[in-house]
């Protein structure tokens, strides 16, 4: 379900810059300091921020960066970060691909993909966060022998993503089609809380980037 436009959230995003890295006025020095001071994990599509806030509280010795293109959702997530007075979470309210060249030699210690939009129509495949283009990008920005953490309620999207990860030679270190939130390095999202209450099963993958992964291109068969 698409989030409706909320004026207050968009205005909040524009006017509260403390916990943001703004692409159009990018502060390279502050960004490098943030990403290099602690192990730093990326989440693409944070929703209203429940997951990232909970995991940031659990792991204060890690930093977390969230990227959200939708300005309404980004504003809602940013307000939640600010309200919780977290110092180890920052937000980029822009297109993920704009962030990549700004990383330069920096890489993340891991990536979270939680309940991403499945974009079920074939013509929208490139928008899926596990399509070839995205997976090739992740190989550029995640450290070797580090992990992608993936959760979804959508079995069709899970099966598609699993095939994609296998195609790109990601190493599957964990797979569960009835995940019960029993991993320490995890937290519940807004969607997950709702789905569990409805008895909907959660699908979970943890994937490792190894040397073989890096040698595999998205167009290879």
Residues labelled catalytic: 117
The 3 state secondary structure assigned to 6-33 is CHHHHHHHHHCCCCECCHHHCCHHHHHH
Q: In whole angstroms, give the CA distance from residue 135 to residue 162.
A: 12
Contacts of 55 (CB under 8 A, 6+ apart): 64, 185, 186, 187
144, HSE (Cβ side, Cα atoms, 13 Å) = 6
Q: In whole angstroms, give the CA distance from residue 35 to residue 88.
A: 10
Say if CB 71 and CB 44 are below 8 A apart. Answer: no
Q: Which ranges constitute the DSSP H helices of 60-204?
A: 71-83, 96-103, 132-141, 155-167, 190-197
Contacts of 51 (CB under 8 A, 6+ apart): 43, 112, 114, 187, 188, 189, 190, 192
Q: In whole angstroms, give the CA distance from residue 52 to residue 188.
A: 9
Q: In whole angstroms, give the CA distance from residue 21 to residue 66.
A: 10
């Amino acid at each position: 379900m698409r989030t409706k436009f909320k004026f207050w959230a968009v205005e909040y995003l524009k006017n509260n810059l403390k916990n943001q890295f703004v692409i159009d006025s990018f502060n390279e020095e502050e960004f490098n300091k943030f990403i290099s001071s602690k192990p730093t994990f990326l989440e693409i599509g944070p929703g209203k921020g429940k997951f990232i806030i909970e995991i940031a509280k659990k792991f204060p010795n890690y930093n977390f960066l969230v990227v959200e293109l939708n300005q309404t959702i980004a504003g809602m997530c940013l307000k939640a970060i600010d309200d919780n007075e977290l110092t180890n979470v920052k937000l980029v309210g822009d297109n993920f691909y704009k962030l990549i060249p700004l990383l330069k030699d920096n890489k993340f210690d891991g990536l979270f993909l939680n309940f991403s939009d499945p974009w079920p129509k074939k013509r929208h495949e490139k928008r899926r966060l596990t399509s070839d283009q995205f997976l090739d990008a992740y190989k550029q920005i995640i450290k070797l022998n580090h992990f992608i953490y993936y959760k979804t309620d959508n079995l069709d999207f899970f099966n598609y993503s699993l095939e994609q990860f296998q195609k790109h030679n990601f190493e599957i270190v964990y797979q569960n089609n009835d995940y019960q939130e029993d991993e320490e390095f995890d937290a519940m999202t807004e969607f997950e809380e709702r789905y569990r209450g409805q008895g909907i099963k959660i699908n979970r993958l943890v994937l490792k980037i190894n040397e073989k992964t890096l040698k595999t291109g998205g167009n290879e068969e």
